[in-house]
Amino acid sequence: MPVSANKVTKLKITASSLHFVSRLFTAATGRSLNRRLGFEPWGDKPPSFFIRVGHAIALWHKAGLSYFKCLSLMKNSKNTPKIYVGTYRMYNSGSLFGKWFDLSDYSDAQEFYKDCYEYHRNESDPELMFQDWEYIPSFLISESTLHQDTFKYFEAVSEMDDDRAEAFEIYCSDIVSWPASGNDLEETLEGFEEAYQGYYGGAFKDPKTEFTYQYVEDTGMLSGAPEILERYFDYEAFGRDLFLETYTEINGFIFLD
């Protein structure tokens, strides 16, 4: 019997051990996982992770996927952008029939939509519904639309390391409100390169203070100053002034205003 996403979430609340994923899978399929099948432990993950896994299991099961197909999907899941695409017609009739589409399999939106419509060819004029998605920033997607620059965005961040890619996402969403701002992606990338100062989440508890120490050192502000002045210099107070108008800090990432 298929298990609903709500039931999966409830199971998550009552099971906190590393066996949680196995229990969810058993609830959805009526079968048990075992290591002889090659299932690798997931390790410690935050609660939100288990909710997403549980929801994915429910969708897979409702879509009629076999036990071994579900297992394969769980083992081979990667941090790639993907969308679970159903249709409004099926959803309104009580069905979650659909498929996970991995955006890394496509070079542009036209290819992606072509496959989506082909998958739902049983409907004469399918109205696509994006029921779930992973590793896609919220400013690029909604329940019924995918922004035209989505593939260009992922092409750009694929050339960045993880910290820089996360910083660019924050810059788009919280600093310049792209793409709602109306600026094109190239212009936004240029602005990011000028604004981004780096990630400061090291030994200091406060990223702003850590950046301030680095700023003072890089600019040579105290070079040649008496040792007593350097010793008693108030970095925290100076840092507060820096971040009043000149810099912005979000989650340890520093940007020039």
Q: What is the pLDDT at residue 53?
A: 55
Q: What is the pLDDT at residue 129?
A: 96
Instruction: Look at residue 20 and tell me whether its pLDDT is greater than 60.
Output: no
Q: Place 19 in a pLDDT band, splitting at 50, 70 and 90.
A: very low
201 and 246, same structural domain? yes
> How confident is the model over 34-74, as pLDDT tens digits?
433 333 344 444 444 444 555 555 565 555 554 445 544 55
CB atoms closer than 10 angstroms to residue 67: 17
Q: What is the pLDDT at residue 68?
A: 45
Rounded to the nearest 10°, the torsion over CA 248, 249, 253, 254 is 40
Domain boundary residue among 89, 119, 147? 147
Q: What is the pLDDT at residue 41?
A: 41
Residue 154 domain-assigned (yes or no):
no
Q: Cβ distance 59 to 96 under 8 Å?
A: yes
> How confident is the model over 165-223, as pLDDT tens digits?
999 999 999 999 999 999 999 999 999 999 999 999 876 678 999 999 999 999 998 88
Q: What is the pLDDT at residue 238?
A: 93
Q: Provide the sign of the torsion angle of the four alpha carbons 25, 26, 30, 34, taken in this order.
A: positive
165 and 227, same structural domain? yes
68 and 22, same structural domain? yes
Taking every pair of Cα atoms in the chain, the longest distance, rounded to a whole number of angstroms, is 80
Across the beta sheet with 196-199, the strand order is 196-199, 253-256, 247-250
Residue 90 domain-assigned (yes or no):
yes
Instruction: Look at residue 13 and tell me whether its pLDDT is greater than 50.
Output: no
Q: What is the pLDDT at residue 162?
A: 87
Domain with 170, as residue range(s), is 160-257
Q: What percent of the chain has pLDDT over 90?
A: 58
Element (H, E) at 197: strand 196-199
Q: What is the pLDDT at residue 3?
A: 37
58 and 28, same structural domain? yes
Q: Place 254 in a pLDDT band, splitting at 50, 70 and 90.
A: very high
Mean pLDDT of the chain: 78
82 and 70, same structural domain? no
d(C-alpha 207, C-alpha 196), whole Å: 14
Q: Which two tokens stand for residue 179?
A: 């793409």
Pick from 129, 37, 125, 44: nearest CA to 88:
129
Q: What is the 3-state secondary structure (H, E, C) of 137-184?
A: CHHHECCCCECCCHHHHHHHHCCCCHHHHHHHHHHHHHHCCCCCCCCC
**Type of residue at 114:** K
164 and 112, same structural domain? no
Q: What is the pLDDT at residue 205?
A: 78
Q: Return the exposure string of 124-162: e unless at least 16 CB atoms fall within 10 Å of the residue's CB, then b.
A: eebebbbbbbbebbebbbeeeebbebbbbbbebbeeeee
Q: Is the pTM of this model over 0.85?
A: no
Range of weakest confidence among 8-12, 206-210, 249-253:
8-12
> How confident is the model over 235-247, as pLDDT tens digits?
999 999 999 989 9
Mean pLDDT across 126-135: 95
d(C-alpha 168, C-alpha 194), whole Å: 12
Q: Between 28 and 157, whose confidence is greater? A: 157
Give CA 206 to chain center in angstroms. Answer: 24
Beta strand residue intervals within 60-164, DSSP E: 82-87, 99-102, 128-134
Q: Provide the sign of the torsion angle of the four alpha carbons 158, 162, 163, 165, taken in this order.
A: positive
Domain boundary residue among 125, 147, 169? 147
How many independent structural domains does the chain possess? 3
